Structure 1
Amino acid sequence: MDSVTIHSLFTEQDIYLFKEGKHYKLYDKFGAHSIENDGIQGVYFSVWAPNAAKVSVIGNFNSWNHREHVLYPRWDGSGIWEGFIAGLTWGTLYKYAIETAHGEILEKSDPYALSWEQNLQAASLISTTWYEWGDEEWMSKRWEKNSITAPISVYEMHLASWMKNEYDPEKVLNYRDIADKLVPYILEMGFTHVEFMPLMEYPYDPSWGYQITGFFAATSRFGSPQDLMYLIDTLHKNNIGVILDWVPSHFPGDANGLHRFDGSYLYEHEDPRKGFHPDWKSYIFNYGRNEVKSFLISNAMFWLDRYHADGLRVDAVTSMLHLDYSRNEGEWEPNIYGENVNLEAKTFLQEFNTAVYGVFGNSIMTIAEESSDFPMLTKPVYAGGVGFGMKWMMGWMHDTLDYFKESPSDRKFYHHKLTFASMYVFNENYMMPLSHDEVVHGKSSLIYKMAGDEWQKFANLRALYVYMFTHPGAKLLFMGNEFGQTREWNFRQSLDWHLLQYSVHKGLQALVRDLNHLYRTEKAMYESQFSSDGFEWVQADDQDNSVYIYLRKGKNKDEVCMVILNLTPKVMDYKIGVDAGTHWKVIFNSDDEQYAGSGVHPDIFREDQEDWMNHPKSISIRISPLAGIVLKKKKEKTYPQKRIKLHKR
């Protein structure tokens, strides 16, 4: 170590907050920071390794010699080692050589590094997140776009397999190339947000990014931190929000990563009943350790702060909250109340949500991937909830896909699989996901989950999308689903964009585009999407005809749409009860020729002033086969009152 005084970046307040689990900007302190120290330019290093016997910095600047640049432990018992090395510059490779209490030398990448190498050694790079942003207008008004009263339609993406390099199919596009191709596509398709599967550094491609080693590093597979910022900046400039998948649930046993970081169970829980995930063969964070909570919440803040992310979709929340998740009897220990809730994880999630919403307010969103009925997940922490903005509606997804697998002739026996969601849809703030998890591991693509021949499969999927986009809740669709990808998703290959030469695929893509437009322009579809005020059944019980009819309502009484689903391949004339004085017009039909439908046009051919379905009036409409149809209430005509001119006597 060069003989200069070390000017620490840590204050006593920093140490106090870190040890209390309340320091939420540790990325300003830990890691490698370029500074001037006593007039000498160099890099300040700091790392948390409380059980280490010795820590040094190794790299390509000292031939990876662990005896040359030793760090020093702080005097305050925090377990932090720090030091300064003169002359180092951006791009320098480094790691920490950590000598354990048992004399073992571990070579660990920096948990707070901003960039990592893409190789087995996976060294950290001295890097920066400086970037000249141009998204000021978006950032100042994004609370409007991220509000639960705004339309939220999310395009979920895996960057490596969305589209490959056209000149070299084995090569992935970089962040900047993706920006140039993605932005026009999202604008054309009408999605409001994109969601990127994890872009934090990960060593193993088949993990899809969910086995993270570099929690503060944008994966260098696709370029530099600034390249990712360019992608997000470009999306924002075009009024497209960005959600990042975030994984505070577990991490791999990679030798370069957090596992046994200083030779002890530092980041993970020591008890394997709480600290090891049997399904993913990975390690679970110790949510009861304050320094770990500071690390994780700082990491969430980092992506919202430095990368301007508009939201975090939190992965595997069910596994975090349940001590018995994927465990047999005897493989887990109940909490102090004899229950299966992981109280430390619940408290951590409450503190995480309180922290990020406390700093960013409603300009951002947090979304839980949670498949159980854990109570009050999207209710405020002050009211006893966990504090998420939304959660994935996994029950809706399973019931819907199960229903559409059935032959139309048998659907009358499964009719209420589609009505059941309305029993609980307003208990939480839900996002309706048709995600990557539904099109891998032998589950088949969405189009091949549908019943029937080719025409019926596409008609069914078009009708399903109408149901999805007109149902209460935010929307999420995985890439490829918008045009009927026929193969299961393969993370190594590009989507099959060539399918768009066929009319059925092109028509499905056009349908999703127009549904996004319908969802974004009809206030009835989104203004009250998380409130029972915005939904009303008109016909929920006609299982013999497999017909469903419901209303979607905006805050203005004139903003009303009616949705009709005919989930059989027969054309039928259908009588529907409506309110007195209302008139309706057809504004959308999934069976239209432009969507490769059969072209049976739904016509309202009669209006009667008689009671029907507990309404004082009825309309009769011809319903297209295997179709979703949307009607809109016509606004009543108003006439200006004649002004009476008064003459003085």
Structure 2
Amino acid sequence: MAETINQASSNSVLDKPADGSVPNDGTEPFKGPLKQRYAKAQKWIGDINASEGGLEKFSRHDISATDSYTDGWNRDSHEMTKNDFGTFEITLPAQNGQPAIAHDSKIKDLSVSPVYDARFWNPPTKYQFKNSRPKKPLSARVYEAHVGISSPEPKVTTYKEFTANVLPRIKKLGYNVIQLMAIMEHAYYASFGYQINSFFAASSRYGFPDDLKELIDTAHGMGITVLLDVVHSHASKNVLDGLNNFDGTDHQYFHGGPRGSHELWDSRLFNYGSHEVLRFLLSNLRFWMEEYHFDGFRFDGVTSMLYTHHGIGTGFSGGYHEYFGDNVDEDGVVYLMIANEMLHQLYPDSITIAEDVSGMPALCVALSLGGVGFDYRLAMAIPDLYIKWLKEKQDIDWDMGALCFTLTNRRHGEKTIAYAESHDQALVGDKSLLFWLCDAEMYTNMSTLSAFTPVIERGLGLHKLIRLITHALGGEGYLNFEGNEFGHPEWLDFPREGNGNSFHYARRQFNLPDDDLLRYRFLNDFDSKMQWTEEKYGWLHSPQAYVSLKNEQDKVIVFERAGLLFIFNFHPSESFTDYRVGVEEAGTYRIVLNSDSEAFGGLNRVDESTRFFTTDFAWNNRKNFLQVYIPTRVALVLALEQTL
């Protein structure tokens, strides 16, 4: 669940001590709170080590007792009562000088309340995983997917169908990480999986648990990492089939009273300062890692977990005072520190991603350095910029400096996953980027048999430029929501009362890029070329790009990263001949990616066999320059000839 507030600005390295302080980052006045968070996390870990045998034992999800409630036990023999502190208790007096409960006895504790029907899944033959987990990828190219919508047919897609039909597509496209949404069981399909009722159950609407295990196992066999979109930020308020009022109170797992309710999400909020809540949530992470062999997590709603105001009505301006003080939920911060420490300690190749828009410093810094410990945060300001500009600006008014600032405005030393659009931009009431660009002509002019109109030309051109510049300049990882790689039409809307329970929009039309007569295949093929080019040159795990040109008049952006030279012309009408661009390394360059290629729906105005020779003359603060022909709304990526 993405909030709509802006990402904070900051760009300094966090790299030093293991005492919870973060030096030389503008946080100097806030060393106290940083150290306090660190100390609190260490105290929790120390207490768990002392009383529970360590994080590994504390977070185990297995249940050793196997007796059922139908083995002759008297379920009503010893009724407990609730004391003044809200705890159920019973006192059993000694009998004949002997304790009422003998040493090493088995005890059953039973809560009696209305319950929802459930199935206990424990087949005699366990699924045998065939493939080991892949190594953590150097570059994370993430394909965000929802199993249920992963078919052109108006229905709920199954795990098996996803395995057979979508996994090969993802592999062919060149993505190496899948982020699976809506897996944790939720009663309301239209909640997009964000109102969890059963934290230890894979959603049965897509099939059996073994089918999900087969999906993950098959992905691993393809070398693809699989992450779970985990929801520990809140829980469904349902009573019959959820945690709410599980023991008859509102505060067994959650904060009691108003603090325990999220006013916008209409859900319950965990009390992260509770020992048993930590056990529940940490063991939940272990369950998904051990039982299903997930490789890590994208933590949903992290902003809500970090702050007592949950990000509601707060436009983070980037002032450090916003990350400290009374508005911070220190228990929530510390829980995330412990969760990340446990995961990276037990599963060194695991990946964790934070959905946070606040820009809290040290979120993606290891606990040993005083940080919260995530591997990546999502760059949530980037898609907001594109939608805002497409709604409010003419193309000629796009600000190249502002675009570059938004794409590079991240905390150096903390890795970011950039994206042009995710599931948030696909939801009903909004539009995909291509829909914003082409609107009604998506229904009339996306066939190659129809006219290549200015609207379609603009739409295809900008769709490719937006995705490539986001991929290459925006972060250390990249994310795409399924279907958006080919410019999925329309929006995403789940069956609900308001739409007559229709599945028409709760699907992904993979038939569109597979049709050679439709222009969607051009965007699909360009996206694939982009992923595989990154696989070869590795710009996502290379140092941040050097931007040498942001020309507002020409609408041209030039930067270098991973030894590649990226040239973008966003001008809506002007093409430039012999355009001079700076480049640091001398040599002969060739084109490795051309958005104007006929294969990608372009006009084929650039000769891809051209060799570009550098001139030993400084230009735009680079040691050399070369000259290119760069048509309107075209991007070129050049590489030294010897690296081809």
Shorter-normalised TM range: 0.7 to 0.9
Distance 1:192-1:53 versus aligned 2 partners, 3 A rule: same
How far 1:337 moved relative to its partner? 7.9
Distance 1:254-1:23 versus aligned 2 partners, 3 A rule: farther
Residues 307-331 of structure 1 deviation map (CA, whole Å, 9 limit, x = unaligned): 11111000000011111125579xx
2:632 equivalent in structure 1: 625
How far 1:448 moved relative to its partner? 2.2
Determine whether 1:408 maps to 2:408: no
Partners of 1:20 and 1:266 lie apart in 2 by 26
- Where relative contact order (Cα < 8 A, 6+ residues apart) is larger, the structure is 2
Determine whether 1:494 maps to 2:504: no
Of the three residues 568, 571, 575, the one matched with 1:568 is 571
How far 1:600 moved relative to its partner? 1.4
Determine whether 1:82 maps to 2:108: yes
Partners of 2:456 and 2:72 lie apart in 1 by 67
1:640 equivalent in structure 2: none
Determine whether 1:374 maps to 2:388: no
Of the three residues 167, 176, 180, the one matched with 2:164 is 180
Distance 1:634-1:357 versus aligned 2 partners, 3 A rule: same
Partners of 1:304 and 1:457 lie apart in 2 by 41
Residues 584-635 of structure 1 deviation map (CA, whole Å, 9 limit, x = unaligned): 1111111111111121116566754433223343211001321221000233
Residues 278-334 of structure 1 deviation map (CA, whole Å, 9 limit, x = unaligned): 0111000111111001100110111111111111000000011111125579xxxx9
2:250 equivalent in structure 1: 265
SS at match of 1:209: coil
RMSD of aligned C-alpha atoms? 3.5
2:540 equivalent in structure 1: 526
Of the three residues 427, 442, 450, the one matched with 2:429 is 442
Q: Which runs of 5+ in 2 are unaligned?
A: 1-46, 91-99, 315-320, 439-453, 495-502
Which residues of 2 match residues 453-472 of structure 1 at below 5 A?
A: 453-471=455-473, 472=475
Residues 8-30 of structure 1 deviation map (CA, whole Å, 9 limit, x = unaligned): xxxxx999856999854342128
How far 1:222 moved relative to its partner? 1.3
* Identity across matched positions, percent: 25
C-alpha contact 2:56 2:342 (8 A) present in aligned 1:
no
TM-score by length of 2: 0.76
Determine whether 1:600 maps to 2:614: no
Which residues of 2 match residues 286-301 of structure 1 at below 5 A?
A: 286-301=271-286
User: Structure 2: which amino acid aligns with 1:620?
Assistant: Q
2:209 equivalent in structure 1: 225
Determine whether 1:277 maps to 2:262: yes
Partners of 2:302 and 2:459 lie apart in 1 by 33
Determine whether 1:159 maps to 2:124: no
Partners of 1:308 and 1:380 lie apart in 2 by 23
Of the three residues 51, 56, 59, the one matched with 1:25 is 59
How far 1:184 moved relative to its partner? 1.6
Which residues of 2 match residues 106-505 of structure 1 at below 5 A?
A: 106-108=113-115, 121-127=116-122, 131-136=126-131, 138-139=132-133, 142-143=134-135, 146-147=136-137, 150-163=138-151, 169-255=153-239, 256-325=241-310, 338-361=325-348, 363-403=349-389, 406-412=393-399, 415-424=401-410, 426-433=412-419, 434-450=421-437, 453-471=455-473, 472-491=475-494, 492=503, 493-500=506-513, 501=515, 502-505=517-520
Query: Where in structure 1 do 4 or more consecutive aligned residues deviate above 4 Å?
Result: 13-23, 33-37, 48-55, 326-329, 334-338, 602-607
Distance 1:473-1:616 versus aligned 2 partners, 3 A rule: closer
Residues 346-372 of structure 1 deviation map (CA, whole Å, 9 limit, x = unaligned): 1111111111111111x1111111111
Partners of 1:587 and 1:367 lie apart in 2 by 31
How far 1:398 moved relative to its partner? 2.2
SS at match of 1:469: helix
Distance 1:126-1:465 versus aligned 2 partners, 3 A rule: closer
User: Structure 2: which amino acid aligns with 1:325?
Assistant: H
1:114 equivalent in structure 2: none
Of the three residues 514, 526, 531, the one matched with 1:511 is 526
Partners of 1:336 and 1:175 lie apart in 2 by 40
Distance 1:381-1:545 versus aligned 2 partners, 3 A rule: same
Matched length? 536
Partners of 2:168 and 2:358 lie apart in 1 by 37
Instruction: Please state which structure has a larger fraction of its residues in strand.
Output: 1
Residues 212-242 of structure 1 deviation map (CA, whole Å, 9 limit, x = unaligned): 1111111111122111101111111111111
Of the three residues 591, 594, 610, the one matched with 2:596 is 591
Partners of 1:494 and 1:291 lie apart in 2 by 39
User: Structure 1: which amino acid aligns with 2:254?
Assistant: H
How far 1:159 moved relative to its partner? 1.0
How far 1:373 moved relative to its partner? 1.3
Partners of 1:446 and 1:509 lie apart in 2 by 14
Q: Which runs of 5+ in 1 are unaligned?
A: 1-12, 56-73, 84-95, 100-105, 109-120, 554-559, 638-649
C-alpha contact 2:581 2:625 (8 A) present in aligned 1:
yes
Partners of 2:249 and 2:54 lie apart in 1 by 20
SS at match of 1:226: helix
TM-score by length of 1: 0.75
Partners of 1:571 and 1:614 lie apart in 2 by 24
Q: 439-448 or 287-296: which moved more?
A: 439-448
1:544 equivalent in structure 2: 553
C-alpha contact 1:604 1:621 (8 A) present in aligned 2:
no
